[in-house]
């Protein structure tokens, strides 16, 4: 039996709860492919899952990781687009923290010729999330005003660039003045330090009473009502995360008066066929913009897979600007 190394969550906790284990290498079937993992894109969900705050859907295991890039090692009988040796980057529901991982053909895209694996591993999760929240649900258009919370995160840096590429005005919140400068460098217009400034007051001070057309919120909790206060009439709010809590008070009267729309979104829980359609939309609309350089994945650093504990500490401390990548030997 052929074996491989994985990183599993032994028990909910800090980074020390991540343990290396030796497991049997899986065998692909149907439209599945076995990929030799070369790079793993870390996401906030990895940290939350490790802490026990983002449980895996029923039937899944304890190996985290939602996106990867690598080489196809073997294919199932129904795979037609790829063959062993092809370079791919892919979305997975679990298991990217491993030397090998099963991926679905329809959740994979070819790595562009001039990209390395680290760059490819930084794209899929954030591109899918941003397209679905900002454009499919949020319907952002040229000339509108857009606010993204956690603007220095992987999703945030992607949302800033995608929104600017369609002609929107982009506001963003971050936790340090240094990150304000960094996000401005990729196209952000107005940065707000949520540690020292009130984002509603700062935004309205610049925009006046017109407010914001669309907000993408990865924070949740008590941000809910503040977001609604900031939205323009007929404005849209898309909830993507709940770092500050999963419950909050909501003013139905304010929503009625301003004719507001509130959406919720999570990627991992979607059905396979829906995920395939999401990946296809990214390939059609955004991959060309990544290839021509209109949008660049923002990578904070690449860390060896064997140093996964250090990588998680870095993410837990919110020190990163953009994505943290794990590189697998």
Q: What is the 3-state secondary structure (H, E, C) of 105-138?
A: HHHEEECCCCCCHHHHHCCHHHHHHHHHHHHHHC
> What confidence category does residue 209 fall into, taking pLDDT thresholds of 50, 70 and 90?
confident
Residue-range domains of the chain with CATH = 3-123+297-327 (3.90.180.10), 126-264 (3.90.180.10)
The pTM of the full predicted model, rounded to 2 decimals, is 0.95
Element (H, E) at 45: helix 44-50
For the segment 110-134, the average pLDDT, to the nearest whole number, is: 98
Over residues 233-258, mean pLDDT: 93
* Predicted local distance difference test score (pLDDT) of residue 56: 81
Give the Cβ contact number of residue 120 at 10 Å.
27
Token pair of 20, please?
Answer: 């290396």
- The pLDDT of residue 154: 96
pLDDT at res. 106: 98
CB-CB contact of 326 with 305 (8 Å): yes
Report pLDDT digits (tens) over 299-308: 999 999 999 9
Q: How many helices (H) and strands (E) are present in the chain, helices listed first?
A: 11, 15
Helix axes 223-230, 199-207, angle to 10 degrees: 10
* Mean local confidence (pLDDT), 272-288: 98
For the chain, give the mean pLDDT.
96
Query: What digits encode the pLDDT tens for the residues 308-324?
Result: 999 999 999 998 999 99
- Looking at 74-78, 207-211, 221-225, which range is the least confident one? 207-211
DSSP 255-301: HHHHT-EEEE--STTS-HHHHHHHHHHHHHHTHHHHHTTSS---EEE
């Amino acid at each position: 039996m052929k074996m491989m190394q994985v990183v599993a969550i032994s028990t909910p906790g800090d980074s020390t709860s991540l343990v290396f284990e030796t497991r049997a290498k899986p065998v692909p079937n149907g439209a599945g492919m076995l990929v030799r993992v070369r790079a793993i894109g870390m996401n906030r969900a990895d940290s939350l899952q490790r802490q026990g705050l983002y449980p895996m859907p029923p039937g899944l295991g304890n190996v985290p990781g939602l996106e990867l890039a690598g080489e196809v090692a073997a294919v199932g009988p129904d795979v037609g687009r790829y063959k062993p040796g092809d370079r791919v980057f892919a979305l997975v529901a679990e298991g990217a923290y491993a030397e090998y991982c099963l991926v679905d053909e329809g959740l994979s895209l070819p790595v562009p010729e001039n990209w390395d694996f680290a760059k490819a591993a930084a794209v899929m999760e954030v591109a899918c999330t941003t397209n679905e929240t900002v454009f499919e649900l949020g319907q952002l258009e040229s000339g509108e005003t857009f606010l993204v919370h956690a603007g220095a995160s992987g999703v945030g840096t992607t949302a800033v660039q995608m929104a600017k590429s369609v002609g929107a005005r982009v506001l963003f919140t971050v936790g340090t003045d240094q990150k304000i400068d960094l996000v401005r460098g990729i196209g952000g217009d107005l940065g707000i330090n949520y540690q020292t400034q009130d984002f509603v007051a700062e935004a309205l001070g610049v925009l006046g009473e017109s407010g914001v057309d669309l907000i993408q919120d990865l924070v949740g909790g008590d941000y809910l009502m503040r977001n609604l206060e900031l939205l323009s009439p007929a404005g849209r709010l898309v909830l993507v995360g709940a770092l500050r809590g999963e419950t909050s008070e909501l003013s139905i009267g304010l929503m009625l008066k301003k004719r507001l729309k509130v959406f919720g979104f999570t990627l991992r829980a979607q059905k396979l066929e829906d995920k395939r359609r999401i990946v296809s939309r990214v390939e059609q609309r955004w991959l060309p913009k990544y290839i021509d350089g209109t949008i660049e994945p923002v990578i904070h650093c690449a860390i060896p897979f064997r140093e996964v504990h250090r990588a998680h500490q870095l993410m837990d401390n919110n020190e990163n600007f953009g994505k943290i990548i794990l590189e697998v030997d």
